[in-house]
Structure formats: structure tokens, C-alpha cells
């Protein structure tokens, strides 16, 4: 060993340099080599490595994977595939050289791996793994390990994990293939169920030696199949259970074969699923249903055996050989009689009942062990029959005083019973009738060392007959009082000898028997049709006799551990106490409830019956009863859910028919349905919870069906609206149904939903833009502003007579409520509406005061129809008709106005109040705010009855109530605004509005939705742009402020309208406009005091600002520009005193 441990000389992130003493001490020698390990794995030196790492070539299938690699040197290669959970929260699988050599966790059989195979160096190699039994759509990893031909200590290179995923199979097995018939030499039947609704299947048989070479291509070509064409099958599949028959297979009895079944869809792309090969054992052409066994005590010259074939015709060969020769015997040597002391050759058996066959002239030596070998086959002579285990043949000594001419056999009692819990009867024939017999019953486990002394001392005996005289030839002995356990197996022995009790007789072979159970099933337990649910199941059965019954349900993994004791004790039982039956009197059926079984998991039920009064568990336990609770509480009938019509961006209609599962597909049950629309990329994430709670769903709540009632077998149609989907995009409409128990155990259906190309919104009226004059207007009356009124967003011209009539009703006497007439009630006095033909008002208002921008008195109704109400002229009594709803007190609508009469705030007040009311109490009105009231009778604005109070509001006295009230703030504080008007085509949608320069900058040459929605090139502050305004198809007005536009300049308003989804599938348009001057002259200037020296100009400006003035000759007027005036150059007469440049006010 080295004098000292290695030490690091230098190191970095990618390398380390080590050193150690060159020579050893007196106990060692010089260091000649070294190894470097990382995390316990050797990393240097490597005995071999890959120059081309192993990699999956092509597309793997569920049956085979092709891997390519190149080794640096010749050596040995290990390679296999292991499953991968492909989860972010777990580490990928790992391996090592030693693990590779044991193929730890590898999938498939030995043909799906390499185990120390020779690898050629410097050559690109390819290996195909077959029979891997991979799952379509599942992830796997590949590991490869390469070392030299003389590698030690796992000094090769390990590569992996190399992750790959098997593409989803186009078809797979819902029920795995199984042999569904008796296997004969002619063939067999195979049952299976495919998962796809349509596709192809291929089925064939091959000899076991060829099974490892099979792949999808060979199965479809029926390569190496046995038999003729009828022993291969191909055809169409469906989702129902199928059974295919392979015939004329020419199989050889007592041989092994493998059955292959492959399914795919109808596209013939070899992307389906190969089922694991089914082992097929062909039984012997003939066998024995009874025996063989010795019929009597062998003698030196004759051996008699008793047999019964399982079918006819049958031919039997038998030989007696020495024990040594029997070990080497074959069917051929038996049929040839090689080494036989005596034999039977091809004896035809003509009956299937047990019969004795005698081999004579044997010349056997007493007290020497021989073997009798018996072989049976059919008439085919293909040596494919059955060779029975050898029978011991021992000729007793010549001093034996008594033997058996016929060995003991069970004799049925008067009730036809072979044995009972009390005992049994044995018939036999002794060679001498002058003698005695001993008989007893023991457990099978106690009979291995049975001897004459054990018989006479009754070792382990349940019951016995001791030393009785033999009464005849043949004779019958009865064993009774045994107290045997029903359903248990025992052995009976009989011993005969001469009359002198000298232990010189013959002990019979054991007579095996099984005591019948104290109770059994007259009809096997089975599930009552359509009774299985997650909570309960009803089992029908019939016991053979009165007794008691036990029943339980267990998880499938515990079924192998259930016996009679576990059934009675309830070991492994699931559910509550109601899911067990404990010792009840037998009946024709039993119901287990409260079982709490989970859908999709396998369970087993057991029923146990026994007789009355027994102290043993000696009844009969049923075979396991499969409890396959349906995976879902409701399912979809074919056709699966489908779209009723082509979807639009907002509306999807889907239709389906639900069917019951637990109660059978013909049952009519109630349930619930949910539906929502999801992005196509989210399809794999959607669960019932996502559909119920709209997790990740598109659209609004209206694009969701929330627990709609349904009935099975009835066609259901669900409509989802306001989905706000994008055109030319595919979504997934998910429908989920379940029963009324709400356990999230229903069925999901995914319906591809492609929204065709188109626009989610457009323009009925293209945008227009106007700029407002910011000059404070004179205060005008509501009546003067009422000739054109805005009602529900539509202009309606009202003549003066209509205005007067409506105003009179509002301000006149309290209205009368007339009688109900055809669903309408009359409101109002006798008025003249002859000048009114037809016009509409808001549904929440009856008798509005036609004032578009201040306030209105109204009779408000708490319940009203959303339809537009109409005023119409009557014939006799002119009245106003409205729908009959709950009349509320008359209220006043109050509006907070700016000085330019633009509304800031509105309030409703009860005008029936008899005390002062504070108006706008929550608004901190500016100091310059003035409260005014419109006096309709005096036709003027007044402050009477309105005062400012300490709460920065307006205090209204009772006299003011019932009149139009406003608050004015002067001077105006709102900058000029841009009014944008347009009308969209969709009933509902969203709009974006912004202002840009005109002509548009180069970057905005193309108008796209993103241009507007992202406010590219937009002018002004946030108040000069609007995003996601909810609009209708009525005329829209959008006001923009704070745009900071340059006076007398060109701009464009950009408007983008879309559906409510706000996608980029709407329409963009624009409206050009020019800004007003920054100030203007309201009245034409007048000149006074005109002299040769100058003149005085008088004018009114629209706002405070700067004014310029000068005098030019009349001939030069056409050439004067704005720049000339401001610069006071060119054309200006006189000196500096004959021109003006200075502040100007509105006074």
C-alpha cells in the first residue's frame, strides 16, 4: 500500500489533480496504477466506453424498441428499459454496473434486454428489443453499460437514464386476451375487448421456441404460425367483448405454445398494442380420470392395476421395470417394452369406468422394489399421451400369512354417500378368510410413516376396527364414530393377517377420501343483475341444506388469503358492519350495504355456508365473486357528445345522451350535467373539478352549464353563451355528467370545438370624432335643450305638444292609477296625446321629463319588463299605458352639473318628504359651486329653497322638492373633450379608443387590433384613451379628455371593437378630425374712433389668452397669414404703436 493517502495537488470545477508517494514502505511495493471514484462509482480508468451513446431510433412501439450505439472496443454489453414516473418532484431512475448485470427493475422478458452480449468495437450497431410489453403513452428510460471482455469491478461506462416516451397506441386492450375455451389438439378460443370503437385485430399461435422472435410485423404476416389458415384470424374489432376461434392448428398434445393477439386502428400504421403472449399448454391426447393404482397385492407372477381413461378410444401400455430402469424410461421405451419383466401392449380400453388390467408371467423377486409404468394415448399414435407416475410394486415375503386379492375401496352407504362426518365403509377381498383385520382413519399428514405397529397401536386414529375376524371373501368393514370435519381430507388404512396375531400380514395402500362439507351450494353465488354500486351489492345463491351463512367483501389483493376462518371472522373485510353477513340463516339472497367501494378498483366477494350444529368451520366457501364497480356513475351513449351546430365566437351547443352504469344501460335515472369550454392546450389538465368550478375555462359564467338536470336515455342539449372565443382557433368543450350523489365519479367527454374564421365585432356606423368648444355656455333652460332628447341611446324628436303634455303630467296633480286592462294599468289624467304617435322611454321610467342632460321626475316601478315600453294614443280617453307593477313614491332625480352643464353626479330623492334634504352630502363641492333650481313655471334657474350647508353640500327645503335641481361650478374646470361616436354590429362587445397623429406615423401604417389595444402611438394621458369599454349595438359616445392636442392640427381617433372575449378577431376603424383654435372671437370685432392715426377695435374672446392686432391695406388682405399677424411683419402699417400683442380676457 502507499506510504500515505493520495492528496489533491490542484483542482477546479471540471478536474482534480492527485499525487501520492512513488514507492511503498518495506511492507509494500511501488504504486503501478490507480482508480478514481465519484459517489461510489468508478470513473477512471474505464475498460471500455461508448463512442456513440445508446439512443432510441425511430418511433418505439408498445412491443418493440430499436436502439443504436457504437462501442469503442470489443467487449460485453448490458442494456435494458425501466419505467419512468416522469414527475418533476421525483428523481429519475438510476442504475449502476452491478444493477445492470442483474437487470433490476427491467421491463419485459429476456428478449427485451441485453445481458453481457458481445459488442463489436468501432462499428455502429443496432439492436431491437421485442416483447417489452410497454404501455402506450407512458414514459420509460434506457440504460446501457459497456465494459471490456475482461472487465473487473464494474470498470465500464454506464449511460443513462435516456428518457423516451412510447406514443399512445392507436388501439389497446380494455380486457386483456385470455383463453376462453378448452385447449385441444385442434385449437382454442381467445376472448378479448379492444378499447377503440373500430380497428383491426390479428391472432395466431406459434411454437414456444419461436415466441421470442415475434414482433408486430411478423404477427400481422402470421410468420411461423402453426396449423393451416384457420389457425390464424384477422378482422374488425369493436368495443364489445370478442371471441375468436383458432382451428385446424394441428397441435401436439403435452406441448407448449404461445398465442399472440394484436390490435390497432384502421390506418395500418403498426402503432397498436401486442398483448403479452398467452401460454398455451396442449393437454395430453388421453389421460386417466381414475388411477392408475394397484388393484391387488402384487405376486411374483402377476401385477394387477386399475385405470379409467378420460376419453375414448384409449390405448394403454404398461411395463414393470426395476427401480433403476424406471428412472430412464421414456414413452418410446415403454411402448417397445424395453427391460420389462412383464407388460401390456396397446390394450384398447372400451369403458370409462375403472377396470383392472393384469400383467402376468412377471417372474418378480419378493421383497425387491419394482416400478409399474402406465402410459395412455389416443388412436393418433403421436406419442402425445400421458405417462403416469410410477407405482411401487413390492412382492411380499413368502412367509406372509394374508394379502389382498382386491385392495380396499370405499363402499357407499344406503344414502349414496361415500363418507360422512361419522365415518365410511370399506370393501376388500383378502387372500385368506382365516384371519383378522385392523382398520382406522387418520389425517393425511399423519400417514407418512404408517406401519403394522402403528395400526395395532392406533397411532393418530380418529376411529378404528381392531383385530376383527375376516368374515368373508369379499368383506366389508365399517368405520364409525369418527367425528370427522366436513370438507377435510383423511386416509383410511386396512391391515390383514393370519389368525395368530404375529404381524406377518399385509398393509393396504392408503384410501384417500374427503368428507363432504356440512353444507354447500345448490347454485353458486352470483351478483344480482344491476345491483352492484359503490355502496352495496346483492348476491343470489342457494344452499344445499339448511344452515348458516357468512359473507364479506375484500380488496382484490387480499382475495388469495380468504378462507373459511377469515370469512367467518371478517378478516380483510371492507366497509362498515352492514357490508358483512355474520351467521344468518341461509336464504336465497343477501344484500351487503355500506361497503364504500371505490370505482375503478377491483374487489371480491365471498359467501360461506355451513350446516346446523357443527363445531368446525366445515362448510363451503364460494369461489371469489368479481365485483367490478363501474368506473363512472353515468356514461355517454353512442354517439358520444357532439356539436349541434357550427360554434360561433360566443355560442356553443352540444348534444348527448346519458346512460346509467350501475343499474344497467336501460335504466332511467336522474343526474346532473356540467359543461365548459377550455383552451386546447389545457385538455390533459381538465378534471371534474375544473369543469364544475370553471377552473381555466374561457368566457364568462354564461359560458358554463352548472349542474343542469338530466335523465338517462333522453337526448340532452346544452347551450353555452358569452364564451368569448377567438376566431380560427380550436377549443375543447368538456361535458361532465354524474349521478345525483355528487361524488365526482362521473364521465368526462371532450368535444373539439373549432371556431371558424370571421370577426367577433364590426361597425354598423363608422366612428366619427368631434371636438368640443370649451367656451362656457350661457345657462339655458331644460325646455330649450329638450327639442332633441336622448332616450335609450336613440334620438327621438318630440314635438312641443308632446313635451308640454308630459311635462304637465310630471309637474301637475298626483297621477291617478286606472283599472287594469288586458295586462296594463292606466296612469295619468285626461290629457291630449293626439300629437304623439309612437315613441319609447326607458323601462325603469314612466312619464319622464324630457331633459337629456340634467334630471327627470318619474314614477319609478320596482318590477318592470325589460322590453321597451311604448306610449300610444287611445281612441276615446287619451291616457298613458304602462305595465302593472309595484308603484313606488314619486322621486326626484338630481344631477350634479359642471358650469358647462355636463353632468357629474345624479341622485334620487323622495319628493314626498316634508323636511329639508341635503343634496350631494358626500361630495366636497368646491367653493365656487352654486346650487340652482329650475322653476318650470317661471322658466328660469333660481337659488330659492337651496342653500350651501356646512357639509359642503346643498340644503334643499321642501319647496324645492319636486323641482329640477342642479349644482353649477364656475368657472369651468374641464378641458376640451373629443366626442367619439360609433355603432358596433355585435349585441355586446368591448371597445378600445385612442387618438394618434394624422397622417399616421410609419410605425402605424397598418392598423391592427394590437395597434389600438396596446395604445401604440397614442396621444395624451390615460384620460385620452379607453380600454375594454363594454358596448352594445346601440349608438355609442365615448368622450376623451386630457389629450394635450395641438390647436389647428390633424389627428385620428382609432376605434377597435371585438366580442366580449377581447380577442384580436374584431374590427379596427378610424375617424380623422382637426382641432379647434386655442382661442377664437365670439363676436365680429367692431371699430370705433377711426382716425388717420389709428382705430379702436372691440371684440369678445372665447377665453382668456393673447390677442394680436394690426392694420393692413385692403389689397394685401388675401396675402396675410397667421404668421404675418403674430410677427407683425410685412403688410403692417405704421409703427409699433399701430399694432397690438398682449393679454386678452373674456370680458
State the Cα–Cα distance between residues 607 and 542, nearest whole angstrom.
Answer: 11
Q: Which residue has the higher pLDDT, 269 or 1143?
A: 269
Q: How much is the average pLDDT of 295-309?
A: 94
CB within 8 A of 946, min separation 6: which ones? 919, 931, 932, 933, 954, 955, 956, 957, 960, 965
**Mind listing the pLDDT tens digit for each residue in 767-799?**
988 876 544 433 333 333 333 222 222 222 223
Interior/surface letters 901-935, b for 16+ CB within 10 angstroms, e for the rest? beeeeebebebeeeebbebbeebebeeebbbbbbb
What is the band of 234 on the pLDDT scale with cuts at 50, 70, 90?
Answer: very high
Phi/psi for 810 (5° steps) reads -70, -40
Q: What is the DSSP letter of 684?
A: G
Q: Which helix (H) or strand (E) holds 256?
A: strand 255-264
Predicted pLDDT of residue 777: 37
Distance set, CA 757 to CA 642, 644, 652, 725 (Å): 20, 18, 15, 11
State the Cα–Cα distance between residues 1112 and 1128, nearest whole angstrom.
Answer: 10
**Would you say 135 and 146 are in contact if contact means Cβ atoms under 8 Å apart?**
no
Asked if pLDDT for residue 985 goes beyond 80, the answer is yes
Predicted pLDDT of residue 348: 93
Residue 400 has a CB neighbour count (10 Å cut-off) of 18
What is the band of 308 on the pLDDT scale with cuts at 50, 70, 90?
Answer: very high
Predicted pLDDT of residue 941: 59
Lowest-confidence pick of 100-114, 122-136, 149-163: 149-163
State the Cα–Cα distance between residues 563 and 316, nearest whole angstrom.
Answer: 40
State the Cα–Cα distance between residues 436 and 433, nearest whole angstrom.
Answer: 8
**Mind listing the pLDDT tens digit for each residue in 1023-1078?**
899 999 999 989 999 989 888 888 888 999 999 998 888 888 889 999 898 887 77
**Mind listing the pLDDT tens digit for each residue in 486-511?**
888 999 999 999 998 889 999 999 99
Mean pLDDT computed over every residue of the chain:
79
State the Cα–Cα distance between residues 1008 and 1068, nearest whole angstrom.
Answer: 7
Residue 18 has a CB neighbour count (10 Å cut-off) of 13
Dihedral sign, CA of 1079, 1085, 1087, 1088?
negative
Predicted pLDDT of residue 1147: 46
**Mind listing the pLDDT tens digit for each residue in 5-30?**
667 777 776 677 777 665 555 555 55
Predicted pLDDT of residue 808: 42
What is the band of 1085 on the pLDDT scale with cuts at 50, 70, 90?
Answer: confident
**Mind listing the pLDDT tens digit for each residue in 199-212?**
899 999 999 888 88
Residue with cell 412367509: 399
Asked if pLDDT for residue 912 goes beyond 80, the answer is no
Q: What percent of the chain has pLDDT over 90?
A: 42
Phi/psi for 966 (5° steps) reads -145, 160
**Mind listing the pLDDT tens digit for each residue in 1001-1016?**
888 888 889 989 999 9
Query: Helices then strands (H, E): number in the chain?
Result: 10, 79
Q: What percent of the chain has pLDDT over 70?
A: 78
Asked if pLDDT for residue 949 goes beyond 90, the answer is no
Asked if pLDDT for residue 372 goes beyond 80, the answer is yes
Asked if pLDDT for residue 826 goes beyond 50, the answer is no
State the Cα–Cα distance between residues 1139 and 1125, nearest whole angstrom.
Answer: 9
Predicted pLDDT of residue 904: 43
Predicted pLDDT of residue 161: 87
State the Cα–Cα distance between residues 1105 and 1112, nearest whole angstrom.
Answer: 23
State the Cα–Cα distance between residues 264 and 202, nearest whole angstrom.
Answer: 9
C-alpha cell of residue 915: 323636511
**Mind listing the pLDDT tens digit for each residue in 508-558?**
999 999 999 989 999 999 999 999 999 999 999 999 999 999 999 999 999
Terminal Cα distance for the chain, rounded:
113
Q: Which residue has the higher pLDDT, 376 or 174?
A: 376
Predicted pLDDT of residue 691: 95
Question: Of the segments 36-50, 484-498, 875-889, which one has the largest average pLDDT value?
Answer: 484-498
**Mind listing the pLDDT tens digit for each residue in 897-911?**
444 444 444 444 433
356-360: which pairs have CB atoms within 8 A and are 24 or more residues apart?
356/295, 356/296, 356/304, 356/305, 356/306, 357/304, 357/305, 357/306, 357/307, 357/316, 357/318, 358/302, 358/303, 358/304, 359/302, 359/303, 359/304, 359/305, 359/318, 359/319, 359/320, 360/301, 360/302
Predicted pLDDT of residue 1048: 80
Asked if pLDDT for residue 810 goes beyond 50, the answer is no
Q: How much is the average pLDDT of 624-647?
A: 91
Predicted pLDDT of residue 5: 66
C-alpha cell of residue 92: 429519475
Q: How much is the average pLDDT of 822-832?
A: 33
Predicted pLDDT of residue 243: 92
Q: How much is the average pLDDT of 164-182?
A: 88
Amino acid at each position: 500500500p502507499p506510504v500515505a493517502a493520495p492528496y489533491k495537488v490542484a483542482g477546479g470545477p471540471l478536474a482534480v489533480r492527485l499525487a501520492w508517494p512513488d514507492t511503498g514502505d518495506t511492507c509494500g511495493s511501488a504504486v503501478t496504477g490507480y482508480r478514481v471514484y465519484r459517489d461510489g462509482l468508478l470513473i477512471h480508468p474505464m475498460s471500455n466506453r461508448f463512442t456513440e451513446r445508446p439512443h432510441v431510433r425511430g418511433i418505439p412501439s408498445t412491443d418493440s424498441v430499436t436502439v443504436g450505439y457504437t462501442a469503442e472496443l470489443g467487449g460485453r454489453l448490458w442494456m435494458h428499459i425501466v419505467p419512468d414516473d416522469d414527475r418533476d418532484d421525483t428523481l429519475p431512475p438510476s442504475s449502476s454496473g452491478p444493477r445492470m448485470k442483474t437487470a433490476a427493475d427491467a421491463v419485459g422478458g429476456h428478449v427485451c434486454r441485453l445481458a453481457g452480449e458481445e459488442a463489436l468495437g468501432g462499428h455502429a450497431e443496432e439492436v431491437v428489443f421485442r416483447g417489452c410489453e410497454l404501455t402506450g403513452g407512458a414514459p420509460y428510460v434506457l440504460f446501457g453499460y459497456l465494459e471490456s471482455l475482461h472487465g473487473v469491478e464494474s470498470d465500464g461506462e454506464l449511460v443513462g437514464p435516456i428518457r423516451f416516451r412510447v406514443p399512445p397506441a392507436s388501439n389497446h386492450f380494455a380486457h386483456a386476451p385470455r383463453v376462453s375455451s378448452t385447449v385441444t389438439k385442434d385449437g382454442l378460443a381467445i376472448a378479448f375487448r379492444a378499447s377503440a370503437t373500430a380497428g383491426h385485430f390479428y391472432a395466431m399461435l406459434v411454437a414456444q421456441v419461436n415466441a421470442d422472435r415475434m414482433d408486430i410485423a411478423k404477427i400481422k404476416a402470421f410468420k411461423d404460425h402453426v396449423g393451416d389458415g384457420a389457425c390464424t384470424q384477422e378482422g374488425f374489432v369493436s368495443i364489445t367483448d370478442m371471441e375468436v376461434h383458432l382451428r385446424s392448428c394441428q397441435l401436439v398434445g403435452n406441448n407448449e405454445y404461445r398465442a399472440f393477439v394484436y390490435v390497432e386502428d384502421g390506418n395500418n400504421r403498426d402503432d397498436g398494442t401486442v398483448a403479452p403472449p398467452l401460454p398455451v399448454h396442449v393437454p395430453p391426447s388421453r389421460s386417466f380420470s381414475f388411477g392408475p393404482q394397484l388393484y391387488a397385492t402384487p405376486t411374483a407372477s402377476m401385477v394387477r392395476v386399475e385405470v379409467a381413461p378420460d376419453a375414448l378410444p384409449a390405448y394403454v401400455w404398461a411395463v414393470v421395470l426395476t427401480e433403476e430402469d424406471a428412472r430412464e424410461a421414456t414413452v418410446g421405451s415403454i411402448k417397445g417394452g424395453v427391460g420389462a419383466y412383464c407388460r401390456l401392449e396397446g390394450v384398447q380400453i372400451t369403458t370409462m369406468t375403472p377396470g383392472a388390467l393384469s400383467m402376468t408371467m412377471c417372474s418378480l423377486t419378493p421383497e425387491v422394489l419394482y416400478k409399474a409404468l402406465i402410459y395412455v394415448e389416443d388412436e393418433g399414435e403421436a406419442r402425445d399421451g400421458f405417462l403416469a407416475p410410477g407405482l411401487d410394486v413390492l412382492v411380499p415375503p413368502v412367509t406372509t400369512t394374508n394379502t389382498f386379492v382386491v385392495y380396499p375401496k370405499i363402499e357407499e352407504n344406503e344414502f349414496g354417500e361415500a363418507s360422512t362426518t361419522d365415518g365410511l365403509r370399506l370393501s376388500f377381498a383378502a387372500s385368506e378368510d382365516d384371519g383378522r383385520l385392523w382398520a382406522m382413519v387418520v389425517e393425511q399428514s399423519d400417514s407418512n410413516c404408517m406401519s403394522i405397529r402403528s395400526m395395532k397401536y392406533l397411532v393418530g386414529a380418529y376411529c378404528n376396527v381392531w383385530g376383527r375376524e375376516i368374515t368373508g371373501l369379499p368383506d366389508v368393514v365399517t368405520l364409525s364414530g369418527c367425528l370427522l370435519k366436513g370438507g377435510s381430507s383423511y386416509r383410511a388404512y386396512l391391515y390383514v393377517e393370519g389368525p395368530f396375531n404375529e404381524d406377518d400380514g399385509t398393509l393396504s395402500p392408503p384410501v384417500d377420501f374427503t368428507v363432504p362439507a356440512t353444507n354447500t351450494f345448490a347454485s353458486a353465488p352470483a351478483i344480482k343483475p344491476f345491483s352492484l354500486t359503490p355502496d352495496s351489492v346483492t348476491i343470489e345463491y342457494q344452499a344445499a341444506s339448511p344452515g348458516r351463512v357468512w359473507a364479506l367483501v375484500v380488496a382484490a389483493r387480499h382475495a388469495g388469503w380468504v378462507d373459511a376462518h377469515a370469512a367467518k371472522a371478517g378478516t380483510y373485510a371492507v366497509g362498515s358492519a352492514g357490508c358483512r353477513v355474520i351467521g344468518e340463516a341461509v336464504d336465497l339472497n343477501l344484500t351487503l350495504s355500506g361497503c364504500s367501494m371505490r370505482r375503478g378498483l377491483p374487489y371480491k366477494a365471498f359467501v360461506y355456508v355451513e350446516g346446523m350444529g357443527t363445531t368446525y368451520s366445515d362448510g363451503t366457501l364460494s369461489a371469489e365473486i368479481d365485483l367490478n364497480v363501474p368506473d363512472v356513475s353515468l356514461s355517454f351513449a353512442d354517439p358520444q357528445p357532439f356539436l349541434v351546430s357550427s360554434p360561433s365566437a360566443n355560442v356553443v351547443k352540444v348534444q348527448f345522451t346519458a346512460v346509467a352504469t350501475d343499474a344497467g344501460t336501460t335504466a332511467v335515472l336522474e343526474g346532473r350535467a356540467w359543461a365548459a369550454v377550455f383552451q386546447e392546450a389545457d385538455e390533459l389538465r381538465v378534471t371534474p373539478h375544473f369543469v364544475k368550478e370553471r377552473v381555466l375555462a374561457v368566457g364568462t359564467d354564461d359560458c358554463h352549464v352548472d349542474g343542469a338536470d338530466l335523465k338517462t336515455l333522453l337526448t340532452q342539449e346544452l347551450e353555452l353563451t358569452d364564451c368569448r372565443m377567438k376566431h380560427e382557433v380550436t377549443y375543447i368543450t368538456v361535458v361532465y355528467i354524474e349521478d345525483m350523489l355528487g361524488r365526482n365519479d362521473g364521465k368526462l367527454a371532450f368535444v373539439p370545438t373549432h371556431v371558424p374564421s370571421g370577426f367577433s365585432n364590426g361597425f354598423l356606423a363608422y366612428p366619427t370624432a368631434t371636438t368640443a368648444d370649451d367656451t362656457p355656455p350661457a345657462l339655458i333652460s331644460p325646455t330649450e335643450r329638450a327639442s332633441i332628447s336622448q332616450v335609450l341611446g336613440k334620438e327621438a324628436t318630440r314635438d312641443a305638444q308632446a313635451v308640454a303634455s308630459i311635462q304637465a303630467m310630471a309637474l301637475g296633480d298626483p297621477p291617478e292609477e286606472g283599472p287594469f286592462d288586458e295586462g296594463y294599468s292606466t296612469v295619468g289624467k285626461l290629457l291630449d296625446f293626439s300629437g304623439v304617435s309612437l315613441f319609447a322611454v326607458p323601462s325603469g321610467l314612466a312619464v319622464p321629463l324630457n331633459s337629456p342632460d340634467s334630471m327627470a321626475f318619474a314614477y319609478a316601478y320596482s318590477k318592470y319588463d325589460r322590453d321597451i315600453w311604448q306610449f300610444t294614443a287611445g281612441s276615446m280617453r287619451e291616457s298613458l299605458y304602462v305595465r302593472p307593477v309595484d308603484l313606488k313614491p314619486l322621486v326626484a332625480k338630481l344631477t350634479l352639473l359642471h358650469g358647462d352643464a355636463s353632468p357629474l353626479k345624479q341622485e334620487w330623492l323622495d319628493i314626498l318628504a316634508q323636511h329639508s334634504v341635503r343634496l350631494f352630502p358626500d361630495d366636497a363641492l368646491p367653493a365656487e359651486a352654486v346650487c340652482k333650481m329650475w322653476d318650470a313655471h317661471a322658466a328660469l334657474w333660481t337659488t330659492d329653497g337651496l342653500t350651501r350647508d356646512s357639509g359642503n353640500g346643498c340644503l334643499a327645503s321642501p319647496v324645492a322638492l319636486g323641482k329640477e335641481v342642479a349644482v353649477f361650478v364656475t368657472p369651468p374646470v374641464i378641458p376640451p373633450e373629443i366626442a367619439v361616436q360609433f355603432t358596433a354590429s355585435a349585441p355586446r362587445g368591448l371597445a378600445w379608443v385612442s387618438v394618434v397623429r394624422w397622417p399616421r406615423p410609419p410605425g402605424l401604417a397598418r392598423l391592427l387590433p394590437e395597434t389600438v389595444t396596446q395604445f401604440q402611438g397614442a396621444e395624451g394621458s390615460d384620460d385620452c384613451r379607453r380600454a375594454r369599454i363594454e358596448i352594445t349595438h346601440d349608438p355609442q359616445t365615448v368622450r376623451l379628455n386630457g389629450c394635450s392636442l395641438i390647436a389647428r392640427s390633424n389627428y385620428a381617433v382609432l376605434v377597435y371593437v371585438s366580442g366580449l372575449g377581447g380577442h384580436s378577431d374584431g374590427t379596427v376603424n378610424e375617424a380623422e378630425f382637426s382641432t379647434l383654435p386655442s382661442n377664437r372671437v365670439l363676436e365680429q370685432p367692431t371699430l370705433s374712433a377711426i382716425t388717420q392715426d389709428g382705430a379702436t377695435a372691440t371684440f369678445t374672446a372665447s377665453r382668456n389668452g393673447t390677442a394680436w392686432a394690426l392694420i393692413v391695406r385692403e389689397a394685401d388682405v388675401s396675402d396675410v397669414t397667421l404668421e404675418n399677424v403674430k410677427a407683425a411683419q410685412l403688410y403692417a402699417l405704421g409703427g409699433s404703436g399701430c399694432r397690438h400683442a398682449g393679454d386678452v380676457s373674456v370680458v
